[in-house]
Amino acid sequence: MPIERRIEFDLIARIRARVGPGDPELLVGIGDDAAVFLPTPGLALVSTTDSLVVGRHFHQDWPAADLGHLALAANLSDLAAMGARSRWALLSLTLPEADPVWLDAFLDGFLALARSTRTTLIGGNLASGPLNLGVQLIGEIEPERIARRSGARVGERILVTGCLGDAAAALGLGDRAGPELVRRLRRPEPRLAAGRALAGRVSSLIDISDGLLADLEHLLPPDCGAEIELGQLPSSRALIAARADPGERWPLQLAGGNDYELLMTAAPERVPALKGRMEALGLRLSEIGTLTERAGIRCRRPDGSVLEPARTGWDHFGD
């Protein structure tokens, strides 16, 4: 057997040993041609995939454990944006070399987040080539609770969980970014519990991965627009400490990607109950604007003047 395939089998055995037998619904796990599992009767299945590419979604020198966390978190965030529970994961790794130390550290980050979100790793694929970290997730949801991107209406309020701009600030600051901002960039917490609590109670829901303005565009009804109140954009203490001038924070909060917060629309009368639900989860929910009949997105400063953002979305590391 060529050495390389033997190493591949060793790596798969390593992953398998760390994952364990899995839940009783898992009929066939890692090590066969495919995984087999029993879905929960009556629930719909939710499936998503996302790949992290070096130089675009992460830097070469980031710790492998952070990459394991981030690759799973980016996918969990998509399930959160549907209102789903996470259940099963496949891991599709293309690696330039078979490095068990790197893989163990990657699994540390991946499996810790998998455990805390009740996600079972059931299979995957290892290939040799330029680094590419692919994850596929299958979750479950009650069909009547699916949270879609469509459904927003003029006059509704725009709301967002947590804080915006931390990850973009960390990217911009590089080595000078403090641990709190770095954690938000490399170890984002997918808003699964928030998604579950919001599903069925908001008119539209999406996660912010490309940037607030870019992702908000997906929620706009045809020929409609939005007005964002810049003074209401939620800032963490770490971001305020790093960027005291709001005029410096806004571009990061409007167009900075990798926030992995949930963005939604809801009728004004529903907002207090939504805030109560998020508060119960220890999560901030901020009203940041309104859907308008006027097409396009306008960002208004607290003094009423309009900010024209240089760009609406962060093309990850690409620009």
Instruction: Report the interface residues with its own copies, using CB under 8 A.
Output: 1-2, 4-5, 27-28, 31-39, 41, 44-57, 78-79, 81-82, 84, 88, 90, 92, 94, 122-125, 127-130, 132, 134, 136-139, 141, 143, 146, 148-149, 206-207, 210, 214, 217, 311-315, 318-319
Instruction: Write the CA distances from 243 to 151, 259, 278, integer angstroms.
Output: 35, 17, 27
Q: Which DSSP letter does residue 58 get?
A: B
Residue nearer to its own copies on the CB measure, 35 or 111: 35
Which residues in 255-267 are b (16+ Cβ under 10 Å) and which e?
bbbbbbbbbbbbe
Cα separation, 37 vs 27, in Å, equals: 5
Among residues 215, 214, 219, 217, the alpha carbon closest in space to that of 202 is found at: 219
Minimum CB separation of residue 43 from its own copies in Å reads 9
Minimum CB separation of residue 268 from its own copies in Å reads 25
Residue nearer to its own copies on the CB measure, 51 or 232: 51
Residue nearer to its own copies on the CB measure, 98 or 240: 98
Q: Are 89 and 37 in contact (CB under 8 A)?
A: no
Helix axes 166-173, 179-186, angle to 10 degrees: 110
Residue nearer to its own copies on the CB measure, 238 or 254: 254
Minimum CB separation of residue 44 from its own copies in Å reads 5
Query: CA quadruple 196, 197, 201, 207: dihedral positive or negative?
Result: negative
Residue nearer to its own copies on the CB measure, 42 or 179: 42
Minimum CB separation of residue 208 from its own copies in Å reads 11
Residue nearer to its own copies on the CB measure, 293 or 315: 315
Minimum CB separation of residue 193 from its own copies in Å reads 16
Minimum CB separation of residue 238 from its own copies in Å reads 26
Q: Containing H/E element for 301?
A: none
Cα separation, 63 vs 182, in Å, equals: 12
Among residues 175, 160, 303, the alpha carbon closest in space to that of 236 is found at: 160
Residue nearer to its own copies on the CB measure, 93 or 242: 93
Minimum CB separation of residue 287 from its own copies in Å reads 22
